[in-house]
Amino acid sequence: MTSNKMARSEETRRRIYEVALAAFREKGFEETTMRAIAAGAGVATGAAYYYYESKEAIVMAFYAEAWASMQEGLGAAAEAGKKTPLEARLTRYVEVKLEAFAPNRGVLRALLRNGADPASPVSPFGRETAPMREADMVWLAKMVADQGLPKDLGPHVPAVLWLYQMGIVMFWLIDESAGQERTRELLRVSAKAVTLLLQLSKLPLTRPIRRTAVELIEIVRGVA
């Protein structure tokens, strides 16, 4: 049987993954050595590279796994009934993410290193993460689908909200306050502000300033 061999292989991959993540959690990303990971998994150094392209790729694997595991929660948050106000849905959406990441907050900080450079595959803005980013935006689009947003701004709102939630997550990664209390506070207030702005954007009165906002968004997104 082929499955026997495949199963063994997958088991090795998994063992490397588990050992690595445990070490990252315990001693930090930088302080953990690929040699130590391999040794801990009972394989030679090179084996780790047979399964993972690089040290960061292991973190990437965690990111992908965490992302998959939170889909259900994100969907529930985004598609909560109409009784749930947008502010609550948005807040919940970010909370789901933070809860899924929480046990490995320190691990994810490793990705923050190249976080600013879209050229790096290991970046929230990079090519590697594009599918997840787009799936996120689909959820966010559903979240605001019933809000009757203006025609010019509407198409950009998912991307803007995606940037918003990524900002909160990054702040959370950096946040050194006890229990990341500051992030919770930031989320509470900023979610209120964001939804308020979205409501205001529907008023005809705000059209001029909205046009400027749209222009800015299009420049940043490279649509212009």
Rg (CA), the chain: 20
One of 6, 44, 203, 209 touching a copy of itself (CB under 8 A): 209
Compute, in degrees rounded to 10, the torsion defined by CA atoms 130, 135, 140, 143: 170
76 binds, among a copy of itself, DNA, none (CB under 5 to 8 A by kind): none
115 vs 158, which CB is nearer to a copy of itself?
A: 115
Buried-state track 92-112, b at ≥16 Cβ within 10 A, e below 16: bbbbbbbebbeebeebbbbbe
CB burial readout 114-129, b (16+ within 10 A) else e: bbeeeebbbbbbbebb
168: phi then psi, degrees, rounded to nearest 5: -65, -45
Q: Which is nearer to DNA, 75 or 121 (CB)?
A: 121
Binder to DNA among 54, 69, 84, 177 (CB under 7 A)? 54
What would the x/- binding string for DNA be over residues 4 to 43, using CB under 7 A? xxx-xx--x-------------------xxxx-------x
As a whole number of Å, the end-to-end CA separation of the chain is: 56
In the list DNA, a copy of itself, none, the entry touching 47 (Cβ below 5 to 8 angstroms by class) is DNA
Residue 112 touches a copy of itself, criterion: CB under 8 A: yes
- Residues in contact with a copy of itself by CB under 8 A are 109, 112-118, 170-171, 174, 177, 182, 185-186, 189-190, 192-193, 196, 209, 212-213, 215-216, 219-220, 222, 224
